């Protein structure tokens, strides 16, 4: 998040001048690409490669990284657009992006419907008489599809894009505020987060319940990312360089690691004192628990310390696949959701074991890389690549939009 060190700002001009935004921080792409892989792996249940995903080693997971970086790149791209072209043009672009994501979400929903309709027609096992009730909504396709279009009915693992859509819809006024009174804007975001916790704010879901990712809570991470991109990181740079902060961050990561370990190794649970468990649990993902947020911050602090902006490794060919995937995040995210569906489907049809699941996971990541490379090739043919600023006024290019 210290990426703003790249945004050469002067203290007298808290709003970054447009000229400095040309250079792309590859770390954003790298970590967003990795986050996309991890989200994909997390969506293929119980495969061996799951053990590589960060959620097994701490409180936060890839979703936090994805939302934060999306806020960061969103502010980076649309913030410049707002300064150069004004509120209306940049807002129109943001809303166009939200619309693209909405269409992508509905496309994925269609694939999901096809899969479950198939399962409903072919799968029958008396052992699962109760579980098969999940297919009941097929009996009311009118209501189900309508609720899906309203983003109220969301299949499992399809919660991130609706969150993203809502965040983008609310982004124009937030960005306007962030450009003028960043501290005030961030304080407002924190206030909404606190109010959401105090008054149980969330959006309704269908058939009942609420959104799995509460937009009123998760907006904090998105806005914080945006705030960092617009000079906040610069303001935090003294903190980020401090050894004490680094030490605290590492200590917290170690603490989170041991707590997470007790979830997997039951015999260790007794080492977690009761008063701590009472305070700590449950660690709420829906409402972005403070412990999760803090864990993400700690991860970010440590990452920035060990991976500086001009770290030579960023140019190494080994990391290019992840960077590529991070540059086309919407496409690769959707592809990942689709591949997770397809992978589960293959495993189910072939009654495959853990080895097949691991194979499918690895293959899925390769397909994601190949697709990102292909998109990059298409864009380079058209003379547009995310690294170069051939058409400097097309803000959507950097960071794949947002």
Partner 1 sequence: MTFILAVLTTIALINGAVAAEPDVEPAPSCAVPEWLMSAEGELTHVAAAVKDQHRLDVSVVGSGSSALSGPDGARFAYPARLEEALKRLLPGTDIKVTAHVHAHRTTADMAAALPAVLAEDKPSLVIWQAGTVDALQGVEPEEFREKLESGVEGILAAGSDLILMNMQYSPRTESMLGVAPYADVMHWVAQQRSVPLFDRLAIMRHWTDEGTFDLYAATKDYAMARRVHDCIGRALAAQIINSAHLDAEKMQTKPDVSKE
Contact flag: residue 353 with partner 1 (CB under 8 A): yes
Which region, judged by CB under 8 A, interacts with partner 1, from 1-9, 55-63, 169-177, 347-355? 347-355
Contact flag: residue 394 with partner 1 (CB under 8 A): no
What one-character-per-residue DSSP string does 338-376 give?
A: HHHHHHHHHHHHHT--HHHHHHHHHHHHHHHHHHHHHHH
Least spacing, CB of residue 384 vs partner 1, in Å: 36
Q: Using CB under 8 A, pick the residue from 286, 303, 376, 380 that binds partner 1.
A: 286
Contact flag: residue 295 with partner 1 (CB under 8 A): no
Report whether 260 contacts 335 (CB < 8 A): no
Contact flag: residue 263 with partner 1 (CB under 8 A): yes
Q: Which residue has the tokens 């959507």?
A: 396
Least spacing, CB of residue 300 vs partner 1, in Å: 25
Contact flag: residue 46 with partner 1 (CB under 8 A): yes
Residues 81-120 that bind partner 1 (CB under 8 A): 112, 115-116, 119
Least spacing, CB of residue 67 vs partner 1, in Å: 19
Which region, judged by CB under 8 A, interacts with partner 1, from 17-25, 182-190, 233-241, 280-288? 280-288
Least spacing, CB of residue 281 vs partner 1, in Å: 5
Contact flag: residue 133 with partner 1 (CB under 8 A): yes
Using a 10 angstrom Cβ sphere, with 0-12 exposed, 13-18 middle and 19 or more buried, the burial of residue 206 is: middle
Report whether 77 contacts 393 (CB < 8 A): no
Distance CA 71, CA 1 (A): 11
The two three-digit tokens of residue 401, written as one number: 């939009």
**Which residue number, 84 or 115, has a Cβ lying nearer to partner 1?**
115
Binding residue count for partner 1, defined by CB under 8 A: 49
**Non-local CB neighbours of 256 within 8 Å, separated by 6+ positions:** 57, 58, 59, 291, 295, 298
Least spacing, CB of residue 119 vs partner 1, in Å: 6
Distance CA 61, CA 400 (A): 22
Contact flag: residue 198 with partner 1 (CB under 8 A): no
**Which residue number, 153 or 227, has a Cβ lying nearer to partner 1?**
153
Report whether 290 contacts 338 (CB < 8 A): no
Least spacing, CB of residue 152 vs partner 1, in Å: 11
Contact flag: residue 208 with partner 1 (CB under 8 A): yes
Contact flag: residue 318 with partner 1 (CB under 8 A): no
Helical H runs in 156-289? Answer: 160-169, 171-180, 182-199, 215-227, 233-241, 243-264, 274-280
Contact flag: residue 165 with partner 1 (CB under 8 A): no
Distance CA 324, CA 30 (A): 8
C-alpha triplet 77, 401, 20: angle, nearest 5° = 25
Contact flag: residue 12 with partner 1 (CB under 8 A): no
Mask for 221-260, x = binds partner 1 (CB under 8 A): ----------------------------------------
Contact flag: residue 273 with partner 1 (CB under 8 A): no
Report whether 99 contacts 326 (CB < 8 A): no
The two three-digit tokens of residue 354, written as one number: 């853990």
Strand partners, 210: 204
**3-class state of residue 392 by DSSP:** coil
Contact flag: residue 351 with partner 1 (CB under 8 A): yes
Using a 10 angstrom Cβ sphere, with 0-12 exposed, 13-18 middle and 19 or more buried, the burial of residue 402 is: buried
Q: Using CB under 8 A, pick the residue from 126, 312, 317, 383 that binds partner 1.
A: 126
Distance CA 221, CA 183 (A): 15
Q: Using CB under 8 A, pick the residue from 95, 134, 307, 356 that binds partner 1.
A: 134
Contact flag: residue 157 with partner 1 (CB under 8 A): yes
Least spacing, CB of residue 163 vs partner 1, in Å: 15
User: By the criterion CB under 8 A, which residues form the site for partner 1?
Assistant: 45-46, 112, 115-116, 119, 122-135, 155-157, 205, 207-210, 263, 266-267, 269, 277-278, 281-282, 284-286, 340-341, 344-345, 347-349, 351, 353-354
């Amino acid at each position: 998040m210290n990426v703003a060190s790249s945004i050469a700002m002067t203290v007298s001009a808290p709003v970054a001048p447009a000229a400095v935004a040309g250079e792309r921080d590859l770390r954003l792409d790298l970590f967003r690409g990795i986050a996309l892989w991890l989200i994909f792996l997390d969506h293929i249940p119980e495969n061996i490669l799951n053990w590589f995903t960060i959620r097994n080693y701490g409180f936060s997971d890839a979703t936090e990284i994805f939302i934060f970086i999306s806020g960061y790149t969103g502010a980076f791209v649309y913030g410049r657009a707002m300064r150069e072209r004004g509120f209306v043009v940049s807002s129109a672009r943001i809303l166009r992006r939200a619309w693209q994501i909405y269409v992508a979400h509905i496309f994925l929903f269609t694939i999901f419907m096809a899969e479950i309709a198939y399962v409903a027609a072919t799968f029958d096992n008396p052992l699962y008489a109760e579980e098969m009730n999940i297919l009941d909504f097929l009996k009311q396709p009118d209501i189900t599809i309508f609720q899906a279009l309203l983003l109220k009915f969301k299949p499992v693992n399809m919660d991130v894009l609706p969150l993203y859509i809502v965040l983008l819809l609310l982004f124009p006024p937030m960005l306007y505020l962030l450009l003028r009174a960043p501290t005030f804007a961030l304080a407002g975001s924190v206030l909404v987060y606190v109010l959401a916790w105090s008054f149980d704010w969330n959006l309704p879901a269908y058939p009942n319940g609420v959104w799995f990712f509460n937009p009123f809570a998760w907006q904090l991470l998105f806005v914080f990312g945006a705030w960092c991109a617009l000079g906040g990181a610069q303001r935090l740079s003294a903190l980020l360089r401090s050894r004490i902060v680094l030490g605290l961050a590492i200590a917290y990561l170690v603490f989170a690691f041991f707590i997470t370990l007790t979830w997997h190794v039951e015999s260790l649970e007794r080492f977690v004192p009761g008063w701590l468990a009472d305070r700590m649990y449950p660690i709420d993902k829906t409402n972005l628990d403070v412990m999760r947020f803090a864990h993400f911050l700690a991860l970010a602090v440590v990452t920035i310390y060990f991976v500086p902006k001009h770290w030579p490794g960023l140019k190494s060919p080994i990391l290019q696949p992840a960077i590529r995937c991070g540059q086309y995040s919407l496409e690769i995210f959707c592809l990942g959701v689709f591949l997770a569906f397809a992978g589960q489907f293959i495993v189910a049809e072939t009654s495959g074991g853990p080895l097949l699941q691991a194979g499918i996971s690895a293959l899925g990541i390769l397909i994601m890389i190949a697709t990102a490379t292909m998109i990059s090739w298409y864009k380079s043919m058209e003379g547009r690549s995310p690294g170069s600023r051939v058409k400097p006024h097309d803000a959507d290019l950097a960071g794949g939009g947002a």
